[in-house]
Amino acid sequence: MTSDQRSAPKAARQGIDFTDVDPQETSRAWNKFLSNRNAPSLPMTGVRSLIYQSWVRSNTTGIKPDQFAAPSFEHSRMATKSSHDQAELRRAARTSMMRIGDLLSGAEAMLLLTDRDGVILETVGDCSTLRKASKINLSVGGLWSEHASGTNGIGTALWTGQPVYVHGEEHFCEGMKAWSCAAAPIRDPIDQSIIGVVNLSGLTRIFQKHNAAFAATAARDIELVLQQEQSLLNIRLMEASIGSFPGRAMDCADGFAIIDRFGRLIFSRNSGVNVGRPDQDLGLGAHFLELPDGISEEKIAAALPSTHYCDDIRLIEIDGLIKGAALAFRQRPNTSQAATVKRPADPDLPGVLIGTTGLKIVGKSDAILEALDTANRIASANQPTLIEGQTGVGKELFARLIHSRMSPERNDCFRTVNCGAMNPKMFGNTLLQPLEAGGTAPLCLDEIGETSAETQLYLLRILEEQGARLFAAHPPSPSLRVLSLTNRAMRDEVEAGRFRRDLFYRLSTLVLTIPPLHARGEDILLIAEHYIRKISLETGRDRLVFSPDVQDALMAHVWPGNVRELRNVVLGLHCLAKSRKVTLADLPPEITTPALAKTGLAVGFGPQEQELARDASLKQAEVRMIENALKHHHGNLSKAALALGISRPTLYRKIEAYRIRTP
Question: How confident is the model at residue 434, as a pLDDT?
Answer: 53
**Interacting residues of 562 by C-beta distance below 8 A, sequence separation 6+:** 389, 390, 391, 392, 393, 394, 516, 517, 645
- The domain defined by 351-515 folds into Rossmann fold (3.40.50)
Residue ranges of the chain with per-residue pLDDT less than 70? 1-18, 38-43, 74-86, 242-254, 270-285, 306-309, 311, 330-346, 408-413, 425-442, 466-480, 593-619, 621, 642, 645-649
Q: Which amino acid is at 96?
A: S
Q: What is the pLDDT of residue 2?
A: 40
What's the pLDDT at 490?
93
Rg, Å, the chain Cα set = 31
Type of residue at 347 = P
CB-based contacts of 632, cutoff 8 Å, min separation 6: 603, 605, 640, 643
Q: What pLDDT shows up at residue 564?
A: 92
Query: Matching CATH topology for 3-226 and 351-515?
Result: no
**Which one, of 360, 368, 362, 647, lies nearest residue 516 by Cα?**
368
pLDDT of residue 473: 44
In the chain, domain spans: 3-226, 245-330, 351-515, 521-657
CA neighbours within 13 Å on the CB side: how many for 489?
Answer: 4
Is residue 487 within 8 Å of 391, Cβ to Cβ?
A: yes
> Which fold does the domain 3-226 belong to in CATH?
Beta-Lactamase (3.30.450)
Give the integer Cα–Cα distance in Å for 12 and 186: 9
Residue pair 145/185 in contact (Cβ under 8 Å)? The answer is no
Q: What is the pTM of this model?
A: 0.48
For residue 491, the model assigns a pLDDT of 92
CA–CA gap between residue 184 and residue 169 (Å, rounded): 20
Q: Residue 252 pairs with which residues in a beta bridge?
A: none
Look at residue 539 in the predicted model and tell me its pLDDT: 74
CA distance 568 to 473: 53
Sequence-separated (6 or more) residues with CB below 8 Å from residue 464: 506
pLDDT at position 378: 92
Q: Which residues contact 642 (CB under 8 A, 6 or more apart)?
A: 561, 568
**DSSP code for 358:** S
Q: How far apart are CA 372 and CA 495, in angstroms?
A: 29
521-657 sits in which CATH class? Answer: mainly alpha
64, 72, 28: which is closest to 46 by C-alpha? Answer: 28
Tell me how far apart the alpha carbons of residues 83 and 66 are, in angstroms, rounded to a whole number: 35
DSSP 91-147: HHHHHHHHHHHHHHTTTT-EEEEEETTSBEEEEEE-HHHHHHHHTTT-STTBB-SHH
Q: Which pLDDT score is estimated for 584? A: 86
What pLDDT, on the 0 to 100 scale, is given for residue 478?
A: 45
